Amino acid sequence: MNPSITEDEKRSAEKRYVELIKKIRTYMTADTSLLRDAYDTAMEKHKCSRRKGGAPYITHPLEVAHFCADMKRDNEVIAAALLHDVVEDEDITMTEIGSKFGSKVKHLVEAVTNLDSSLEEYEAMEKNDVDVLSDVKLIEQISRNPQALYIKVGDRVHNLGDMAGMPYDKVVAKAQHTEDILIPLLRTVQATRLIEILETRCFKLKHENAYHQIKEGYKKLCDSNSLSHKWLQDYMFSVFYGHNERFYVEEDIRPSVQGDLPDSKWIKTITFYTRYTGSISRDLQNKMTNIFAELPKVITKKNIPLYDIYFVTNEECPLSPEDYFLSYYPILHAGVYEPESEEYDERFKDVRFMLTIVGEGRDKVTDLPFLLIQDAFGTGYRLFPERVDEFTDHINGCIYKQDDERMPVVSVIDRAEPAASFEQTIHVYLRDGAVQEMPVGSTILDLAFKIHPYVGLCAKYAQINGRDSSIPLQTKLTDGDQVDIFTDSDSDNPENNIIHATIRWFEYVRTREATRELSRYFEKHIEDSGTRTRIFIDGIGEKEIQTGSTVLDVAFALGRETGLHFKEAYINRSSRPCAMDYVPGYGDRVRIETDDAVEPELGWFVVARLPEVRRELVRYFEGEKE
């Protein structure tokens, strides 16, 4: 049993709580009654619990609440952050949460509470399966409680940052789950700032050495260019926010750049941000061919814009943000800035700042357009011109408000593999006109397994869009295809199913569902399935047979009548027939000849290697006796 929280630890937690209230008060009125009740409840319920690293458990909900406050969330979201683990880990019910803290807090806590594998309804299930159901529940809940994502992300950010000493496989699994479930969920709501936060955390855990090299290299670049960065900030603020005696336009070029400029009142904010390590790593990917040898060499200001500048205008601004910025560009490009005396350096006396647009691009996560600008010292920046609503949107997406009409709904949730719910999909139609939604890249075989496991295992070929030609099972589907699958499955009499699945079918499927069904089948029938060899049959084409099969076995694999009337076989280009017990090798071309006059002999039992062939021979001889 974990030791209870100590008095010193209580005081430390209380101090962190006070800091939380102060942080909230910087952007709204703190509901101290609600928040104090939430904090006291969390403290009481978690007082005997500790994190795996030994810290009092209360530190975790406090940090999640701080994360939500950093995102400028309201009192109810922050209260729910403080309470987000009390139902999952302690003896309190959702009903009690609702009666004490209100329905909004209750619904937020409910949305982020994982299912409890110890409950009677789940006790027969594996923990991994219960975790999958928790993911399904989260995806379903978010459309009704979008702001719960702030709590979930805050929870994951703190957990990802608190994994020191954990086995590497668990660390990678947690990062992978973040990339498979949380980040795609954030993409659907376009909350790109939260995506960048999580991507950077995952990058750190999965690629620790590269992360630290980039982070340290970036810090050195920022430190060595701190003066030019400060000057650029001062310079831009001087241009846009008023006159400054240290900024001027030289007389000889003044007429060409002065004129009617838009009023600075339309500017909401000009903000400089340091960049996320994950974002920088994407910039460097096409700059090197060997990450181990070249990474330190490519971390230069030539390759990395050091800061992101968000140039944000008010909604009422008559110009687009980009046009507004460009109207000032001649001055920004031609003006002169004289630094303060304590920063003065003879080398930079009366330097023309020459803020220059050197390119443009789009961010690989947000897809937002930016202007690539450079100061006189070669320091690069990404400048994003945006209206204030666009700025809020790209940071928070459509989860900023509780009832945003743009909030998307994940229309089809894959309950076996929730991560597949975020894949791009196509629609195809079955023989009876029923529509099926499939991930892009799916094959006919994937569709067969989606219809039913035995439709997949017994599938032979398909016809597409009403054409008579037989289409191979590995053919990729396209949007709008009408698919008629031919199979040897018999739903009324399953004992008559003829399985055609081979190990090679793993190469033909793309969906997790199909892969899982193939795995289950071969795990169950591993002794029967054996290894397979690919050969080519004249007049038929490629076929897989069980390794060790004789040409007699091959004849029976082509059909009972072919086997019973087997005459001889030819291998590759040989003009002479091979022995009946010849075992074809991988890639051999086999030509089987039959003769209705030929009948099986008892000696064939010795030649046949496959149990099913021997069973056919038994049936034949028993019938002959009758």
- With H, G, I as helix, E, B as strand and everything else as coil, classify residue 320: coil
Closest CA to 321 of 384, 259, 397: 384
Rounded distance between C-alpha atoms, residue 150 and residue 197, angstroms: 12
Decide if 446 is catalytic.
no
Residue 409 amino acid letter: V
Residue entry with tokens 């040897």: 488
Rounded distance between C-alpha atoms, residue 151 and residue 399, angstroms: 12
> Which residue in the list 89, 96, 131, 484 is annotated as catalytic?
89
Does residue 336 contact residue 248 with C-beta atoms inside 8 Å? Answer: yes
Residue entry with tokens 């997790």: 512
* Assigned token pair, 350: 């009366």
Residue entry with tokens 């004249």: 538
Decide if 343 is catalytic.
no
> Which residue in the list 31, 88, 363, 423 is annotated as catalytic?
88
Rounded distance between C-alpha atoms, residue 624 and residue 499, angstroms: 28
Closest CA to 390 of 368, 364, 363, 365: 368
Collect all residues with Cβ–Cβ distance below 8 Å to 261 and sequence separation of at least 6: 327, 328, 331
- The residue count of the chain comes to 626
Does residue 457 contact residue 497 with C-beta atoms inside 8 Å? Answer: yes
Closest CA to 304 of 381, 235, 410, 367: 381
Cβ of 241: how many Cβ atoms within 10 Å? 11
The 8-class DSSP code of residue 56 comes to B
DSSP 510-567: -SHHHHHHHHHHHHHTHHHH--EEEEEETTTEEEEEETT--HHHHHHHT-HHHHHTEE
Collect all residues with Cβ–Cβ distance below 8 Å to 229 and sequence separation of at least 6: 222, 272, 306, 307, 379
Does residue 485 contact residue 444 with C-beta atoms inside 8 Å? Answer: yes
Cβ of 401: how many Cβ atoms within 10 Å? 13
Rounded distance between C-alpha atoms, residue 252 and residue 366, angstroms: 42
* Assigned token pair, 53: 């690293």
Residue entry with tokens 């789950």: 177
Does residue 557 contact residue 569 with C-beta atoms inside 8 Å? Answer: no
What is the Cα Rg of the chain in Å? Answer: 34
Which strands make up the sheet holding 356-362, listed edge to edge?
267-274, 307-313, 380-387, 369-374, 356-362
Collect all residues with Cβ–Cβ distance below 8 Å to 520 and sequence separation of at least 6: 453
Residue entry with tokens 């110009």: 319
- What distance, in Å, lies between the first and last C-alpha atoms of the chain? 76
Residues designated as active site? 88-89
